[in-house]
Amino acid sequence: MEENQKKELLELFADKLTRAARLYLDNCTRCGVCIEACHVYQSMPETRYTAVSRAQNIRRLYEKYFKLSGKIAPWWNEAVELDDAWMDRVWETAYTCTGCRRCMTFCPFGIDTGLIQSIAKLLLIGSDREPKVLTMLADVSISKGRNIEATKKSFAQAVRNLEAEVIEKWRSEGGEEAVPLDVQGADVLYVALAGKHSIVPAAAIMNAAGEKWSLSYFEAVNFGAFVGNPKKTKEIAQRIIDEAERLKVKEVAICECGTAYRVMKHMTGKHSFNVITFVELIARYLREGRIKLDKSKIDARITYHDPCQIARQGGIYEEPRYILKHLTDDFVDLQSNRRASYCCGGGGGLVIMGDKEFRMKSAKVKVDEVKATGATILATACENCHSQLSDLMEYYGLETKVQFVSGLVADALVQETASRKVPAATSEEPQLQLTAKAG
């Protein structure tokens, strides 16, 4: 590795050394509590897949270049040189970790392996070694955003073409657009993914609730976050922020996409609007009596997969369960749920990156838990999880069907009894509770 490049990479590393990062790098006691927490290790028990081993690769570099002890006695804490061999080793470390942060939940010091891996990802990007497909998707997304004016007309036409399907699920009142766009002063700006599955059910639900809403021109997905590039992440998120401010909306509701929600809610600072997940909005409509669901529509046991970015990292545990209990009397949780839910195995860009064999093998623990419930519907609230879980069900031959919470709700809307008025909230609030088990 050229000296210049090494210098640049070490500067990138130095930029990431916040107080929190230093704390995580300095304080691992190697107690091993986190080992069993990782779904990859649980499914493929090899040392290289443990959280502590992944972090150790970065710690050794930190020791060498940022600690006095590493300079005086590099052998003491196994300090390593930054070279091509280290970069190759850390590639696997970084991109087989989904950033789910389950290990952090069980670590007595709350060490954030996801954050430590974000250092590795930044160095890989800096040396042009990151997964190119993720960067390409981020670049395409950025370019689409920069040229949005040129595509607004065709987007509006595509949206008009979906309206019949929305009306099939919920008959809007005369004169109302089934999918409103660019509504100044809307209460809710709904940010969807590409694909009608992300627009049609949500539109029907918001129309049923009598919501004053607007569909965003932009896609929710943030490939900048998947690849671990902070600049691209910011640019992709900023255009949604600008649109929300221009329309003067009260809330931005992010569709069922965990990464998009986490970026907007936790990584973009404070705004003039509130940020919520779409499942929170559905739960609110139910609590306020703005929508009603027909339980007889589903004759199946339902279980729920907590998307890491919405649940463990966003604290949204009870809302989806509250919704699903309005759809069935036969809801059953996975053994590891809420904060302790295992990652689906597709996070951190793995669903897109293409090593399907690894994705399937590394998430076997999730499949075993789904099988144990006997559920025939596995609901979730994240596109990435939906893709990965659907692949898993097929790969392991399970009949369980993976469905979005919004899709189940839209198919069970009761047309006659929904009210356009918004009554005061009832006391039937979802209660937070932790029933999770470790490892």
Quote the DSSP letter at residue 263.
H
Q: To 10 degrees, the CA torsion angle through 148, 153, 157, 163?
A: 70
* C-alpha–C-alpha distance, residues 333 and 398, integer Å: 17
Quote the DSSP letter at residue 198.
G
CB nearer ligand SF4, residue 109 or residue 155: 109
Beta bridge partners of 215: 181, 190
CB nearer ligand SF4, residue 108 or residue 185: 108
CB nearer ligand SF4, residue 55 or residue 275: 55
Smallest distance from the beta carbon of 57 to ligand SF4, in angstroms? 12
Q: How many chain residues bind ligand SF4 (CB under 6 A)?
A: 26
Q: Which of residues 73-112 bind ligand SF4 (CB under 6 A)?
A: 97-103, 107, 109, 111
Interior/surface letters 151-190, b for 16+ CB within 10 angstroms, e for the rest: eeeeeeeebeebeebbbebbebeeeebbbbeebeebebbb
Smallest distance from the beta carbon of 104 to ligand SF4, in angstroms? 7
Quote the DSSP letter at residue 182.
S
Smallest distance from the beta carbon of 79 to ligand SF4, in angstroms? 18
Token pair belonging to 89: 């080793």
Degrees to nearest 5, angle at CA 420 with 414 and 423: 100
CB nearer ligand SF4, residue 76 or residue 161: 76
Smallest distance from the beta carbon of 88 to ligand SF4, in angstroms? 19
Smallest distance from the beta carbon of 7 to ligand SF4, in angstroms? 29
437 contacts 336 by C-beta, under 8 angstroms? yes
Smallest distance from the beta carbon of 308 to ligand SF4, in angstroms? 8
Smallest distance from the beta carbon of 196 to ligand SF4, in angstroms? 32
Residue 317-346 contact track with ligand SF4, rule CB under 6 A, x = bound = --------------------------x---
Token pair belonging to 254: 């992010």
CB nearer ligand SF4, residue 27 or residue 238: 27
Token pair belonging to 21: 């990062």
CB nearer ligand SF4, residue 54 or residue 366: 54
Residue 53-72 contact track with ligand SF4, rule CB under 6 A, x = bound = -x------------------
What angle in degrees, to the nearest 10, is found between the helix axes of 19-26 and 113-126? 110
CB nearer ligand SF4, residue 47 or residue 427: 47
Q: Does 113 bind ligand SF4 (CB under 6 A)?
A: yes
Q: Which of residues 26-55 bind ligand SF4 (CB under 6 A)?
A: 28-34, 37-38, 40, 51-52, 54
CB nearer ligand SF4, residue 56 or residue 406: 56
**The tokens 């999770």 sit on which residue?**
436
Q: Where are the alpha helices (DSSP H) in 147-184?
A: 148-160, 163-169
**The tokens 């692949």 sit on which residue?**
391
Positions touching ligand SF4 (CB under 6 A) are: 28-34, 37-38, 40, 51-52, 54, 97-103, 107, 109, 111, 113-114, 343
